[in-house]
Amino acid sequence: MTTMAERTQTTSGARAEGTKTLTLGKAVNEGLRAAMRRDDKVLLMGEDIGPLGGVFRVTDGLQAEFGEERVVDTPLAESGIVGTAIGLAMRGYRPVCEIQFDGFVFPAFNQITTQLAKIHNRTRGAIDMPVVIRIPYGGGIGAVEHHSESPEALFAHTAGLRVVSPSSPQDAYTMIQEAIASPDPVVFFEPKGRYWAKGEVDLDVPVGSATLNAAQVVRTGTDVTLVAYGPSVETALKTAAALAEEGRSAEVVDLRAISPLDTGAVVASVRKTGRCVVIHEAPVFFGAGAEIAARVTEECFYALESPVLRVGGFHTPYPVAKHEHEYLPSVDRVLDAVDRAFAH
């Protein structure tokens, strides 16, 4: 676990030709490029990822650099993308699949949960499944149905998968490379609403710094712990800034991964602050926040000043774009939860 302050120092200390300001989407692009240059077994597969560069341009320029055999425009069939990626992995390749939008992963759900997640176990470790499933996810972009969902809990519930989501350009750049290097399958959720957010990226950061397993404290504080990942980290940080104006000190933990779950980082923080609010865009009901709340309650029972609270989506279909900002966990709704936590 590193703090943002520590990392910023490291990054700025190394600021030379290796550091650039990139959007999160471009950081994924650079991470893919670096992984493909490093290992010619890395392949990209997906719909419209070739000349178009993907609907979000995350694979922009990669087919021109690596050719059609390594950046493959697939037929429009998601189960086929993942199913053939499994076969390619058995033959020694490291496929990175792009699912165009969150709501379109379900045709591939069977391949991901019954096959990809289990083949290593089914063969008693004889076969590894180094496959990455990239999924632009989350809302806030004013999209139509099936283009704004957060299905991460469905995958975290399946043993054999790693489920991660970067919140910053630096993490996007590092984590995509670590996901590709992982011998385990990784479902890589990219916060599409944050694709255009800019940040400093150290392009020389070593792959293997374990970002896939280790949460990081992105803001230190003493009164309440805000736990978030992916797009909600920004919401948590804005909430913490607002709380600071009110004289309350919030600590923000960016989980980075929900499988595995870095319980230790969250517990250490809550034992210090005594209060915990979990934020995610996915529905609260049976969401990742429920698991975090249960673990925090079991481990921090005597340190807690109030129940663990959750802020997230409702148990409804993702709403029409006109109403999505009421559905998504806003700064105001997180502030409301923090107020309730302090009411105890």
Q: Which residues bind other proteins (CB under 8 A)?
A: 43, 69, 74-75, 77, 79-80, 82-93, 95, 107, 110-111, 114-115, 118, 120-129, 159-160, 162, 182-184, 210, 213-214, 259-264, 267, 295, 298-299
Quote the distance between the C-alpha of residue 100 and its chain's center. Answer: 16
* Nearest-approach distance from CB 154 to other proteins, in angstroms: 16
CA distance 41 to 8: 33
Contact 38, 252 (CB under 8 A): no
* Nearest-approach distance from CB 156 to other proteins, in angstroms: 9
Q: What residue type is 258 in one-letter code?
A: I
* Nearest-approach distance from CB 321 to other proteins, in angstroms: 30
Which lies closer to other proteins via its Cβ, residue 57 or residue 118? 118
Which lies closer to other proteins via its Cβ, residue 213 or residue 220? 213
Which lies closer to other proteins via its Cβ, residue 74 or residue 232? 74
Which lies closer to other proteins via its Cβ, residue 2 or residue 330? 2
* Nearest-approach distance from CB 205 to other proteins, in angstroms: 18
* Nearest-approach distance from CB 96 to other proteins, in angstroms: 14
Which lies closer to other proteins via its Cβ, residue 50 or residue 199? 50
Which lies closer to other proteins via its Cβ, residue 22 or residue 44? 44
* Nearest-approach distance from CB 323 to other proteins, in angstroms: 33
CA distance 50 to 25: 16
Q: What residue type is 253 in one-letter code?
A: V
CA distance 242 to 238: 6
Which lies closer to other proteins via its Cβ, residue 118 or residue 146? 118
**What CA dihedral angle connects 73, 211, 170 and 137, to 10 degrees?**
50
Catalytic-role residue among 120, 146, 147, 325: 147
* Nearest-approach distance from CB 79 to other proteins, in angstroms: 6
Is 146 an annotated catalytic residue?
Answer: no
Q: Enumerate the active-site residues.
A: 147
